[in-house]
């Protein structure tokens, strides 16, 4: 099957085409998707959380990667779950979903829906892995709906091998007092695309978005995060940290969109990126759109090499230059990794990062 997706990860407002940042595309060939072999759900569901066939409460929720990517998954999905946390439920343990690319599953196309009814709280951890040097394709679509006063914690951990292309498309909607809390770790894959769009529709609804990425070799990473404020007194906080090595490239688009009527809304966005090679390509487009006067929007982006004074301090404590660099990157990633509730997965992610950073020995 040939995958040809256009208008992926589009900026809400276009800029100069020559900058090459308005959008991107996904071009890939892979085996026709067959039914997924294996079980994605690890263990049992927590009390109050169930698989459901109910219609998704926000069927028109827009996604970060856009309609083409969403339509593709809905038309070709071979796995996925629809979950519902009943009203008032406070799930004591996370729901863990594991999807793996392998010789048996060269194409993993998962379509997921997560609903948190009024006053409920649920955590969902999604892990994406590949078997050794397996070649394959992953395309994911996840829709979130947080009802009045409900909380959804979504953690998506991507640990695919170098032979895999991956995209992860998320659309979320929050009602009054609802909260969407998303953690993403884009750490593997030959080509990785990620998009999240959250509409804060209800008054005092919130978005917390934390992400890390790591590029090495000739890996490419393309990210698009959009926080759309339509309700009064809504708040969003987007924090992204990454490191680029070798000849890797990354594009990050981060948009805070204040729609007319979103009075007293607050949106903050920050990206911190470390570069370890003159051959990397780094592009960032922070954007604030404003149709409402009574709002507070801030964005910041910091890109560059590790400061000489910081390196000198660590090296004066007995570390080599490579060891100091690795320590700084690991420390930069730890606030996100530490939020993973599953201890085994937390260790797996930490070990994955350490293995990927082992090549820094040659940069001392």
Domain locations in the chain? 2-311
Phi-psi bin for 54: left (phi > 0), alpha (psi -120 to 50), beta? Answer: beta
* Distance separating alpha carbons of residues 117 and 261, to the nearest angstrom: 25
Q: If you average pLDDT over residues 262-288, what whole number do you get?
A: 95
pLDDT of amino acid 361: 53
Q: Any bridge partners for residue 265, and if so which?
A: 295
pLDDT of amino acid 269: 97
pLDDT of amino acid 364: 42
Q: Is the pLDDT of residue 332 over 50?
A: yes
Q: If you average pLDDT over residues 36-57, what whole number do you get?
A: 96
Q: Is the pLDDT of residue 111 over 90?
A: yes
> Collapsing DSSP states into helix, strand and coil, what is residue 192?
strand
Which is more confident, 60 or 240? 240
Contact (CB, 8 A) for 8 and 24: yes
pLDDT of amino acid 24: 96
Q: Is the pLDDT of residue 363 over 60?
A: no
Residue 196 CB contacts under 8 Å (≥ 6 apart), including other chains: 63, 64, 170, 171, 172, 182, 184, 209, 224, 225, 226
Residue 351 CB contacts under 8 Å (≥ 6 apart), including other chains: none
CA distances in angstroms from 106 to 1, 96, 160, 163, listed in the order given: 12, 21, 12, 11
pLDDT of amino acid 294: 96
Helix (H) or strand (E) holding 39: none
Distance of CA 166 to the CA centre of its chain: 12
pLDDT of amino acid 307: 80
pLDDT of amino acid 360: 61
pLDDT of amino acid 280: 95
pLDDT of amino acid 144: 99
- From the list 217, 185, 222, the residue with the least C-alpha distance to 351 is 185
pLDDT of amino acid 349: 95
- From the list 326, 276, 283, the residue with the least C-alpha distance to 301 is 283
pLDDT of amino acid 265: 99
* Distance separating alpha carbons of residues 148 and 27, to the nearest angstrom: 39
Q: Is the pLDDT of residue 359 over 80?
A: no
Compute the mean pLDDT over every residue in the chain, rounded to the nearest whole number. 94
pLDDT of amino acid 264: 98
- From the list 225, 176, 179, 233, the residue with the least C-alpha distance to 201 is 176
Beta strands in the chain (DSSP E): 2-8, 24-29, 41-42, 49-51, 82-85, 95-101, 107-116, 121-130, 136-146, 151-159, 164-174, 179-186, 191-200, 206-215, 220-229, 235-244, 249-258, 265-275, 281-290, 295-304
Q: Is the pLDDT of residue 177 over 60?
A: yes
Tokens 């969902």 found at = 124
* Distance separating alpha carbons of residues 221 and 129, to the nearest angstrom: 17
Alpha-helical segments (H) within 25-139:
67-76
Q: If you average pLDDT over residues 353-361, what whole number do you get?
A: 79
Q: If you average pLDDT over residues 186-211, what whole number do you get?
A: 98
Considering only 44-48, 91-95, 250-254, 276-280, which range has the smallest mean pLDDT? Answer: 276-280
Beta strand 49-51 with 82-85: parallel, antiparallel or unpaired? antiparallel
Q: Residue 351: what are its φ and ψ, rounded to 5°?
A: -65, -35
Q: Is the pLDDT of residue 186 over 90?
A: yes
């Amino acid at each position: 099957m040939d995958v040809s997706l256009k208008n992926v990860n589009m900026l809400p407002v276009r800029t100069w085409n020559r900058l090459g940042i308005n959008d991107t595309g996904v071009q890939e060939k892979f085996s026709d998707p067959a039914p997924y072999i294996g079980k994605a759900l690890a263990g049992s569901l927590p009390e109050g959380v169930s698989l459901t066939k109910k219609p998704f409460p926000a069927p028109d929720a827009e996604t970060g990667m856009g309609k083409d990517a969403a339509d593709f998954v809905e038309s070709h999905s071979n796995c996925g779950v629809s979950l519902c946390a009943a009203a008032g439920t406070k799930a004591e343990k996370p729901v863990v979903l594991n999807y793996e690319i392998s010789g048996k599953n060269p194409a993993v196309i998962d379509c997921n829906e997560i609903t948190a009814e009024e006053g409920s709280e649920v955590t969902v951890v999604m892990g994406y892995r590949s078997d050794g040097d397996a070649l394959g394709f992953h395309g994911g679509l996840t829709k979130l709906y947080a009802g009045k006063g409900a909380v959804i914690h979504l953690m998506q951990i991507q640990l695919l091998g170098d032979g895999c292309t991956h995209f992860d498309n998320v659309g979320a909607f929050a009602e009054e007092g609802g909260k969407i809390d998303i953690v993403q770790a884009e750490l593997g894959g030959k080509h990785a695309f990620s998009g999240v769009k959250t509409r804060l529709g209800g008054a005092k609804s919130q978005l917390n978005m934390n992400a890390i990425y790591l590029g090495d070799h000739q890996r490419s990473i393309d990210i698009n995060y959009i926080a759309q404020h339509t309700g009064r007194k809504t708040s969003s906080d987007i924090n992204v940290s990454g490191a680029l090595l070798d000849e890797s490239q990354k594009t990050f688009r981060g948009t805070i969109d204040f729609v007319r009527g979103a009075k007293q809304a607050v949106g903050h966005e920050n990206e911190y990126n470390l570069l370890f090679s003159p051959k990397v390509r780094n592009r960032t487009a922070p954007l604030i759109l404003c149709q409402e006067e009574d709002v507070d929007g801030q964005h910041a982006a910091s890109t560059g090499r590790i400061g000489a004074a910081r390196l000198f301090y660590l090296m004066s404590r007995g570390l080599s230059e490579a060891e100091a660099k690795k320590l700084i990157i690991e420390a930069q990633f730890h606030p996100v990794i530490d939020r993973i509730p599953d201890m085994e997965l937390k260790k797996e992610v930490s070990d994955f990062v350490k293995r990927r950073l082992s090549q820094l020995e040659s940069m001392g």
